[in-house]
Structures are given as C-alpha cells and as structure tokens.
Structure 1
C-alpha cells in the first residue's frame, strides 16, 4: 500500500489541533456540573465565601454575591479559591450576570492575586488597599454609560483606596454593556507562553505580550452594590491548564486526578457537560474538538501519537513498513476519535436546536401580544379622531347658540331705545300739576260738603 507524502501531511495537519488538549483544575473551579454545591450545603467545595453585611446566597446553579431590590444597597460579597494557581499556562472562564434598574451602580471584580481572602476580602478596586496581582473590573462606566472592563496590575506597593483617578491607572480597557443582557455573560482570561488575553462573549477585549502573571496566586470574584442595588450572580468559574504544563503540578495532585471514577455515560450527556474533578463525575479532556471524557480510549488517543523519527534511522524495508503501519494505525485511531467527537457535537447540536425551537415557540407566543398592541394603537387613533370630531361639533353648536341669542335680543329691543329717548326728550309737567291741583280741590270740596251736612242735621238733646 502506497500513501503519498501530501496525504500524510494533510492528515497530520488535520490532527494537530486535536492533539492539543487542556485539563480542568477542579480545586479552582465550580459551576461545571449540575449543581454548584452539594445539596443542602451552604458552602462550595474548595472555595471560601465572604460577605458584608450578609453572606452570599448559594443556589443550585449560581452564587448571588449581591441581591437586587428590595434588598438594601451597599452590600458586598466575595468568593475565593482556597488553593493557588500553580500553572504557567492556563485558561479561566467566568460566567456571570448583572441585572438591575435602568441606571446601574456598583461593580464586579475578577481577581488573581496573592493572599486574596486576606488582602482583598470583599473589597473592590476602589476600596482595596495594597494587593499583588491582577484585577479585572466591570462597572457601569464607558463611552455610552453601558459598561466597560478595565484591567489593573499592582506589585503590592500601591494602596488603591488612597489614590484618585483610578480609571487612568488601567493598563487596558474596552467598552462592554454587560448589564441586563437577559443571559449570562462570559469573561475568558488566558495566559500562554507569549500572550495574555481577555475575551468578552467570544470577542477579544485586549491582549498583551508584556503581561505575565506569576504562579501562586488565588482566583476570586467580588461584587459591591450601590444605594440602588444590582443583582450580581456567578454561574461558573472554570480554570484549565495546558496538558503539556507539568512543571508546577505535584505528584499528589496527579494521584488525585487519577483516582476520579467513571459514571454512566448517558447521564454525562443528558445532563450538563461532564468535567474533571467534580464529585461523582469523571475527568474530561478539553480540546479544540470539544469536551471529551478522560476514558481509557481518550488516554489511548494521547498514547497513539507516534513520535517523529529521522528518515536516516529507517534503513530497512521492514522498518519502513513498520513505521508506516504504526503511523497509519495512529491516523486511523485519531480519525475514529474525531468521528466520535463529531457525533457527540451533533448530539449537543440537536439538543441545542430543540432548546432554540422551544424558545422560538415562546417568542412566537410573545409576538401575539404585539398584535394586541397594534389593536390598542388603532383604538387610540379612533378615539383621537372621535375627540376631534366632537370638539368641532361642540364649537359649531356654541356658535349657533350665540347667533340665536343675538338675533332674539336684537328683535326684542328693536325701537325700544328710540322710543325711550323720544319720551325723555319731551317731558310733560302740566299734567302732573293738573292732577295735583285737581286732587286738592276735590279734597277741599269734600270737606265743605261734609261741614254743611253736619251743620244742617238735627241736633239731639239728652
């Protein structure tokens, strides 16, 4: 059987990405299984909770560092890893959600510092004293007030709470509207041999070749709420390391990683993605092809990598055939693994498709409410037209009534003023005098008649 060098080169380039894997550090991670903490537990394994005045609340799938209204403002919460990060190449993934009123307040801080629970506690970058390490701050500032992420470094000499203009001390920043998204937001921090980078929801925020975080620091997340509080929730903190980075891994940790047991494969895929180090879950490998269980087949996948050999060392046809056979067998194993990963990805894709279909159905139900809004808008427009018609009719009625009153008054008073003026112009005093004199004479005659009749009447004597 003959295989061209071009075909072999293509096969090896296809498998180069799959050969690069990362492993999860369970003692620095939470939120990668169905539950953040064991049921009825008030603590997270390998993590320490701090709060002022109240401790953070642990729910099944999240940690509430600061609650929203009606809870009072001015609260602080923190979650700190009990173990240090002892790897030089690593990747940290933080899923969080911040929600609250339209105008937000407070901040969320992601720390990787020395002795974080003691030196930082529940502080934010604006209230912390001296610290040594890195902090990424998410607050409601930014160009449009929608939010931003800023990165700060300190060697333990600067006391930040005593400084002014802390925003200007950031070595990098980017605008990021993280509040009220309706979904968890993601911050991904990665340290490689040559680059330090920060991504937000899959988009690069900033990167630098001059930043190298030393080992021995602790991960932590703190949140502080303002007078009008925001709800700060942490869904996941996952830390992974390069599988080639064995420099800082102790023998005890290796033994612990080898002692993780298997559970039913069906449960691993019907529930949340399996990850290494969780209680009751097998360890997994995280590669470019996706998340894969650390099963014997997966370990064989690593062992099947045939090391490169110098062509000058293969001198016989038998050795050449054996080398070609081994490499073809390795290619076959890798392709089988890729096919299994693709099948797993298809299952995950189908599940996500079903979830999206359900959400689309719910969205269609909400769209029917928009039709009702159109009906209400039409009714309001009809009411507006009716009001305008009623207003015009009322004005016309008032005008008609005013015209009728004017016509009526004008008909009644027509000529009245002229007659009154004519009468006043020629007053008659003679008639008045005649009436007075005649009345006096009539009274005088009646008196005389009375006297005469009385005098002529017979007198009566007793």
Structure 2
C-alpha cells in the first residue's frame, strides 16, 4: 500500500516549483478586472503618450490608435524598469480595420523608452538602445512579427532599408480576428524566445538584455488605419528580490486570468497545425507531415507488488501524474482547437448571413427601381402621345395659314404685276424713241452746211 506521505511530498514539490514565479505589479496591467482604478484616466506605474491625441483608456483595454481617423500614434511606457535577467512579458492585443488597412504595433524593451522613443515606430525612431518587436503586414503578408536590435549606433529613421535589420521573424494572422492575440517574450540568462498564441516564433541564445530597461508598446496607423487595442501587459519573474513589496505569487495572477489563458491559448488556430481524432498533425521545417499521438507515451500498467521502495513509489506517482497532466492538456488543447474552429465557422456563417441580408436589401431596392421605371415608362408614353397630337395640330394649323397666305399673295401679285409691266414697257419704249429722235437730230445738225460770217 502506498504511503499518504508520498502525496504530501509530491504536492509540496509541485507547489514549490510553481511558487517560484512572481507577478511584478509595478510593470503589469490588465491581469485584474480593470486596467486602472475606477475614476482614474491613467494606468498605474505607466505613462500614456500619443499624437495628435492621447490614446483612449477603457476599463479593460487601452486603444492606442482608433479606427478613424488615420495617421494616429499612441504609446504606453512603464515608469519603472526591469531589474532581473529571468522574466516573461505577456502581451495581449487586438487589431481591427478595413480590408486594406495598414499600421504596425511595436513592443519595446528599451532604455529610457518614454523619452527616446515616445510614440514612434521602428520606421520613424532615430537611435535607441534595446529590443523592438514589430507586428505588421510586411511585404503584403497576412501578418508577421519581426525582431530588431539596436545598441544606439544605428539611426533607424535615416537607414536606407530598416527591414534588412531584422534578426528573426514568423508569420501569423492577427487582423480582424474578433479576439485578442497573445505575444509572450521569455528572457533568461541563456536564451531569449518569442511565442505567438502559445506557438514558438523564434529564439536566440545570443541576446542578452541587461537590467534597467523600460517596457513599452507603441502603435502607428496610416491613411487606411488599423485600430490597435492592448488588453494586457503582464511581467513575471522567477526571482522577487529586486522587487520585494511589488511582487505577488503567480498563483493569484493565474487565478485571475485562468479563463483568458484557456481561451487565448486553446482557440488560436494555425494553418500548419490541425487535430483529427485525438492525433496531432503538424508540419516540420522540411514541410513533411509529422503525426504525433499524445497517448503514445502512456505509462504501462504494472503490479503494485513490483514497487518496493518509497523512492520508486514516488517516482511512479510523479510519472503518472505528469502523464495524466499531459493527456489532460492534450484533451483541453483539442477541445480548445475545436472550439476555435467552431467560433471561426460561426463568424464565417454570420458574415455570410450579413452579406446575404445586404444582397436581399439590394434586391428590395431593385424592385422599387423597377416600379419607378414602370411609372417613368408610362409617363414617357403619355408624353409621347401628347406631343404627337400637338405636332399634328401644329402641322394642320401651319398648312392652313400657309395655304391661305399663299393664295392671297398670289392674287396680290397678279393684280399689281399686270399693270406694272405695261408701264414699264411704255417707259422703256418711250425712252428708246427719245434716244432715237435725239440721234437723228444730231445727225441732221452735223450734216447741214456751216455758215461763215
């Protein structure tokens, strides 16, 4: 029979392992019911910047850039600095906007960030000392996260090609999802890594960020804007001696955001990862499919008499609890993925119904337009008949008046033209006779002898 003390020892070991992670209150917000205390317009231990306006702060989120108008900038910067080598920064954001919207979200770990960087993005900042993670639609992709480092020697604003300075990247969809997306930064003495929605993005064992750096988030929108909303920025550490009164056990943070973790970790779907019938299908770096069965590592059953020592008993119990935990995790992941697929299908069906309603509304407009066109056709037909009648009346009236005037004019011409021609002929003949008489008189005078005195 197994001793109850083994369960107590195992529970103590697990509790001690989990209790080594602390929440840094002075560098965290969004892990409770409200980001800021009710009535305050600022985040405790954080400064909010923006131009031309200050970002809007709500009870559960801060809107760095609104959906309209465009060309906005917003930022939140911690007043205090990171003082530990081992830390985790957990950020949740959401991006909404038009189909061709553009903008970028920047997560910074930088020295004196609120003064040196302010509300700038990685494309407009000059010289800074630290790390920047940029989330945008680089090169027309559906979404990409890229990492940049600077020791203060590079002027990013005047650099001819800032994109070539990225040291790591990964693609993921983040716009118009309807839910927040999680970005998690892990920094230890040996490695720096970035996770997107619970999946590894990139990591490096050559990056060391010394203590004394501020953490901040900036966002910038363009003419076609994206609305960037930040729901949470939580900093966890494994050692609380640098923070003392400003840390609390990570259990309280996990209790406060347990349902958020369940949703945001399990709902996120990836194009290269699907679950079918309890088996996980993923794609390796070479593009070949790798099938993993979460139950293929199940511990085989064995007789209780085979476990003789308390150490073997504890090891067997520990292994079986881990196996159960792994299986439960796989089940929850599968359920979360199925739930995410259901949510996605629901969103697609809702969008299709919305589009169908829009089309039906257009059909209603078409029927109204057809009715109006029928009325217009009737009016044009009646107008054509009326114009035809008026034209016939005008034609008859013109014919009557023209014929009447023509006959009167003809009679008038006949009456006056007959007498007028006789007089003209008489004048012409008389003038000819006068000329002829004058000619004969002239000849007679010329031919008669002259008398000399």
Bin the TM-score by the shorter chain. Answer: 0.5 to 0.7
Q: 1:142–1:175: 8 Å Cα contact kept in structure 2? A: no
Q: Corresponding residue for 1:221?
A: 217
Residue 329 (structure 1) aligned with residue 343 (structure 2): no
Q: Corresponding residue for 1:402?
A: 391
Shift of 1:151: 3.5
Distance 1:386 1:24 in 2: 76
Distance 1:414 1:202 in 2: 101
Length, aligned pairs only: 364
Distance 1:273 1:167 in 2: 37
Residue 31 (structure 1) aligned with residue 30 (structure 2): yes
Any residues of structure 2 matched to 1:320-399 within 5 Å, and which? Answer: 320=308, 322=310, 325-331=313-319, 333-334=321-322, 370=358, 371-399=360-388
Distance 1:76 1:64 in 2: 8
Q: 1:80–1:221: 8 Å Cα contact kept in structure 2? A: no
Query: In the TM superposition, what whole-angstrom CA distance separates every residue of 1:20-59 from its partner, at most 9, and x where no partner exists?
Result: 9995643443212211123334543454444567655432
Shift of 1:167: 4.1
Distance 2:20 2:341 in 1: 27
TM-score (norm 2): 0.56
Distance 1:208 1:138 in 2: 16
Query: In the TM superposition, what whole-angstrom CA distance separates every residue of 1:275-321 from its partner, at most 9, and x where no partner exists?
Result: 9xxxxxxxx9999999xxxxxxxxxxxxxxxxxxxxxxxxxx87656
Any residues of structure 2 matched to 1:257-296 within 5 Å, and which? Answer: 273=258
Any residues of structure 2 matched to 1:196-207 within 5 Å, and which? Answer: 196-197=193-194, 199=196, 207=202
Residue 114 (structure 1) aligned with residue 111 (structure 2): yes
Residue 421 (structure 1) aligned with residue 416 (structure 2): no
SS of corresponding position for 1:79: strand
Query: In the TM superposition, what whole-angstrom CA distance separates every residue of 1:70-99 from its partner, at most 9, and x where no partner exists?
Result: 8x97654332262316345x6544323455
Distance 1:138 1:233 in 2: 13
Distance 1:361 1:98, change over 3 A: closer
Q: 2:182–2:264: 8 Å Cα contact kept in structure 1? A: no
Q: 2:19–2:250: 8 Å Cα contact kept in structure 1? A: no
Any residues of structure 2 matched to 1:56-455 within 5 Å, and which? Answer: 56-66=55-65, 76-80=74-78, 82-84=80-82, 86-87=84-85, 92-98=89-95, 107-138=104-135, 142-143=139-140, 150-171=146-167, 183-189=179-185, 196-197=193-194, 199=196, 207=202, 209=204, 212-216=207-211, 217-224=213-220, 232-239=228-235, 249=239, 251=241, 273=258, 320=308, 322=310, 325-331=313-319, 333-334=321-322, 370=358, 371-410=360-399, 413-414=402-403, 417=406, 420-421=409-410, 423-425=412-414, 427=416
Distance 2:345 2:177 in 1: 20
Shift of 1:111: 0.7
Q: 1:32–1:273: 8 Å Cα contact kept in structure 2? A: no
Distance 1:274 1:120, change over 3 A: same
Shift of 1:221: 0.7
Distance 1:262 1:177 in 2: 31
Q: 1:93–1:239: 8 Å Cα contact kept in structure 2? A: yes
Q: 1:80–1:220: 8 Å Cα contact kept in structure 2? A: yes
CA RMSD of aligned residues (A): 5.7
Shift of 1:61: 0.6
Distance 1:345 1:176 in 2: 19
Structure 2: tracts of 5 or more residues without a match: 2-16, 268-304, 421-453
Distance 1:381 1:180 in 2: 38
Distance 1:161 1:423 in 2: 100
TM-score (norm 1): 0.55
SS of corresponding position for 1:158: coil
